[in-house]
């Protein structure tokens, strides 16, 4: 109970100090204006945007979305379904899409580990390990890293940088 009373008195004292300070500031501003001195405004109007121009129209209207030209869905009739022919061709075989940088090699006894950078992370890999599902390290040398991708596609990454 006593603590609550002290807290109320502290709040009242702080608010009285703030009000006293604000009234002193206002009286000083009025005195400067009476003496003919230039009073700086709180808001710099020269930095405000010129509001007389007509605003530009919005780039998109979220209430009226654009309609895209997508292919029509398949048409079903009574009996067997009839599909419209699509302009798409048969699915192509996956392309080797692994992006990595071969930094170097670390040898410890009989084990060789390659250091690669993928997605900003340095990762150690050994021969036979998968980098990501479907991409496996075949061979590691000090100058190159050979990786096998889907459909037995092979790609060789040469070492990047000026390390000996």
- pLDDT tens per residue, range 104-143: 899 888 889 999 998 888 899 999 999 888 899 999 998 9
Return the bridge partners of 145, or none. Answer: 140, 157
> Is residue 158 helix, strand or coil?
strand
**CA nearest neighbour of 152 among 91, 99, 94:** 94
- pLDDT tens per residue, range 15-59: 888 888 878 877 877 777 777 777 777 777 776 666 667 777 777
- Considering Cα of 135, then 137, then 141, then 146, what sign does the dihedral take? negative
**CA distance from start to end of the chain:** 76
Instruction: Give pLDDT, residue 1.
Output: 55
DSSP-derived secondary structure for 71-132: PPPPB--SSS-B-PPPS--SPPPPP-----EEEEEEEETTEEEEEEEETTEEEEEETT-EEE
- pLDDT tens per residue, range 58-77: 777 777 766 666 666 666 66
Tokens at residue 151, please?
């459909």
């Amino acid at each position: 109970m006593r603590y609550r009373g002290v807290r109320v008195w502290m709040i009242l004292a702080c608010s009285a100090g703030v009000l006293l300070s604000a009234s002193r500031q206002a009286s000083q501003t009025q005195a400067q204006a009476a003496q003919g001195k230039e009073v700086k405004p709180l808001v710099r109007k020269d930095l405000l945007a010129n509001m007389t121009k007509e605003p530009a129209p919005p780039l998109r209207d979220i209430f009226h979305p654009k309609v895209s030209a997508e292919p029509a869905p398949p048409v079903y009739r009574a009996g067997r379904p009839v599909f419209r022919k699509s302009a798409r061709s048969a699915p192509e075989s996956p392309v080797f899409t692994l992006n990595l940088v071969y930094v170097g090699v670390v040898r410890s006894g009989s084990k060789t580990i390659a250091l690669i950078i993928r997605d900003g992370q340095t990762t150690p890999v050994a021969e036979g390990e998968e980098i990501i599902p479907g991409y496996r390290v075949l061979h590691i040398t000090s100058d190159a890293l050979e990786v096998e991708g889907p459909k037995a596609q092979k790609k060789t990454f040469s070492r990047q940088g000026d390390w000996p």
